[in-house]
Structure 1
Amino acid sequence: MSRAAEVRFERVWKRFGAGNVAVRDVSFTVPAGTLCTLLGPSGCGKTTTLRMIAGLEYPSEGRVLIGGRDVSALPPAERDVSMVFQSYALFPHMTVLENVCYGLTVSRRPKREAMGAGRAALESVGLAGFEARLPSELSGGQQQRVAVARALVLEPSVLLFDEPLSNLDARLRRKMREEIRDLQQRLGVTVVYVTHDQAEALAISDKIIVMNQAVIAQEGTPRELYASPASAFVAGFVGEANRIPARLRRLDDVDAEVSIGEARLVLPHRGLPDGPAELALRPEAIALLGPADPAAMLEGAVSKAAYLGGVIEYTVATPLGEIFVVSSSAGSAPGAGDAVGLSFGRHGAALLPGSREAP
């Protein structure tokens, strides 16, 4: 395997015709040997960004660097990267081993050497013994692993994934994302991974870059983005979040007293001044209590309840609007129309910078 390489964008723009900006003045760094996810809704620019790393698109302005080398104008074959596509793009008439070795054979690598490298790549993804099968004889998850092995056999310094799990069912997606993460950590390769699935991004990433409307909305570790979203968009896209009107009063250089109706919380003020603000409150950070419980900070009534096995999802009507709550399904559970109390904790609550909605 080649040494992992850093990927860096420096003020990159990508335009498609007049007025169609797909990527707007984007700068970021993916450290060598890490897994970075580009996360965002359809049309946000994440796939175009990935394709500019691969050399399938060229920047209109700015620079793309891989391992410190400016590759902005280089074709894909000269970038030392491999890409796993959403469709897997396997040749149906070729065996698994022939598919994996295809890139080596077209580059005129000796057949025996190519076949040996292909078998080693298949073993690395857990498919030793599948060499003679055709793609049609494999499950979706196995086809995905063949596509990964085909990319790995080229020994790239950067491995790119474009929505690789979108064709799989939910249970297999979970298994395959764990396998991709284990493989990346075992080989130490740099991975840039595109998805619109927030759970997928949180589960596998060292770093997440959230994109929206052609720009970076926020970047950081999964924990940083989840605990301290920089905007209402990030709060709602990286996990679920209730947006609740609040009012804050600074206590010192770090913390503020945050009023939510009659309730009070002490939270980092994140640079916001005294006055109206907006709070992002994670559903799992809200405790569902009895209506007469003295610990209740807010009263409401259950308008919807959905049993999901290990948890129950509630929509609770309150004087501050509807609040989404996720609670353990253990024990007795209120139903639609039941009065409840809600309690909020410091963990899972964050003020949203830039918010100025009055409570």
Structure 2
Amino acid sequence: MTVSAKAGAEVRLEGIGKRYGPVAAVKPLDLVIAGGTLVTLLGPSGCGKTTLLRMIAGLEVPTEGRISIGGRDVTRLSAGERDVSLVFQSYALFPHMTVAENVAYGLVSSGMGKRAAAERALAALASVGLDGLGQRLPSELSGGQQQRVAVARALVLEPAVLLFDEPLSNLDARLRRKMRDEIRELQQRLGVTVVYVTHDQSEALAVSDRIVVMRNAEIAQAGTPAELYEQPADIFVAGFMGEANILPARITALAGDDATVEIGPMTVTLPHRGLATGEAALAIRPEAVRIGPPGPGSLPARVRRAAYMGAVMEYTLDSAIGAVFAVSPDVGHPLPVDAEAGLTLADRGVVLVRS
């Protein structure tokens, strides 16, 4: 026996919003999550991402708008009628039940016979790499194993959509990396639609087909991980999608799709992205900063802080236009504090952004 999911269920939100009195927890928005993809709702605490997830799950009733799953209007249906499963941050396992009983609980509650439910539960456990652990209690498992039990309990119901609410926040850094890879592999193998909530940018970049960055109860930008990292719409998205130096610049000329941009003594050509001539903001990824000796055409800087990080050196440098954070793979020749340097920019990782 195998455990599967109803692959390819599209989730469509049309004008969906949620208010608590005068406070907008989610401002009316439109969003289409293609079937069989993993889409992450990413943003700081209080931005509306969890409320949006709970509306998809049926745990919150929208104030306005419409939700459809697989072409079926589920806006007013209860959580149990929506054909979705939610994996909670806290795992929410019953401590007095065995692992297999925890996984089978939803099936038995819905009327399935205990023997059939037990077979399905064991198949679900095998699908998440926990074959042979069904008779253990949750307390006898590691945190990562408990998280897999929670995933198996959701998968055994064969949902149209699988929802994750900050699923890895209780795990240490190494286990988070392992579990995020396992969740992604499982989603791709089963072809299930997944909506995943996190505030961890690296987690979102690692698992997602698309990322929806939320801010102040609305969507700031949606796109692929590469689009959001390399072409952020504004300063907020640039800063939230990993490290970014936000530095002042000046657009001096426009030609076709390109702009001539002055950054201190440096001049570069970049896509203008609809910006006019005049003062501008530049988002520069740390890996795009090239550190060399001072010289013509480079931005003079002085090392304020240097940190050995194993694979790279991290530097904070002071310049005439502000502090610059940079990473360098040259760990064999670190620059000392107070060393003078000249900064130039790589071809990628440098982009004009709106304020």
The answer (yes or no) to whether the contact 2:313–2:331 under 8 Å persists in 1 is no
**Aligned: 1:337 with 2:341:** no
Q: For structure 1, which segment, 339-348 or 145-154, has the greater mean C-alpha deviation from structure 2 after superposition?
A: 339-348
Q: CA deviation at 1:101?
A: 0.5
Question: What is the one-letter code of the residue matched to 1:303?
Answer: R
The answer (yes or no) to whether the contact 1:255–1:266 under 8 Å persists in 2 is yes
Mapped partners of 1:300, 1:53: distance in 2: 50
Pairs within 5 Å for 1:147-158: 147-158=150-161
Aligned counterpart for 1:180 among listed residues 180, 183, 192? 183
Question: What is the one-letter code of the residue matched to 1:15?
Answer: R
The answer (yes or no) to whether the contact 1:265–1:345 under 8 Å persists in 2 is no
**Aligned: 1:144 with 2:147:** yes
Aligned to 1:349: 350
Residues 270-319 of structure 1 deviation map (CA, whole Å, 9 limit, x = unaligned): 01111111110001110111235x5x610110111121111121110000
Q: CA deviation at 1:3?
A: 3.2
Mapped partners of 2:181, 2:345: distance in 1: 33
Residues 20-67 of structure 1 deviation map (CA, whole Å, 9 limit, x = unaligned): 110001211110000000000000000000000000001101111111
Residues 65-90 of structure 1 deviation map (CA, whole Å, 9 limit, x = unaligned): 11121111110011000000000000
* TM-score, structure 1 as length reference: 0.96
Aligned counterpart for 1:3 among listed residues 2, 7, 11? 7
The answer (yes or no) to whether the contact 2:87–2:150 under 8 Å persists in 1 is yes
Aligned to 2:127: 124
Question: What is the one-letter code of the residue matched to 1:181?
Answer: R
Aligned counterpart for 1:283 among listed residues 270, 283, 286? 286
Aligned to 1:166: 169
Residues 243-267 of structure 1 deviation map (CA, whole Å, 9 limit, x = unaligned): 1111114443211111101111111
Q: Give structure 1 regions of 4+ aligned residues with deviation exceeding 6 angstroms.
A: none
Mapped partners of 1:311, 1:61: distance in 2: 49
Identity of aligned residues (%): 62
Mapped partners of 2:78, 2:253: distance in 1: 54
**Aligned: 1:33 with 2:36:** yes
Number of equivalent positions: 351
* TM-score, structure 2 as length reference: 0.97
The answer (yes or no) to whether the contact 2:307–2:313 under 8 Å persists in 1 is yes
The answer (yes or no) to whether the contact 1:310–1:328 under 8 Å persists in 2 is yes
Mapped partners of 2:6, 2:271: distance in 1: 44
Structure 2 residue runs of 5 or longer lacking an equivalent are none
Mapped partners of 1:12, 1:106: distance in 2: 31
Q: CA deviation at 1:177?
A: 0.1
Mapped partners of 1:176, 1:198: distance in 2: 15
Aligned to 1:301: 302
Mapped partners of 2:179, 2:299: distance in 1: 42
Q: CA deviation at 1:95?
A: 0.4
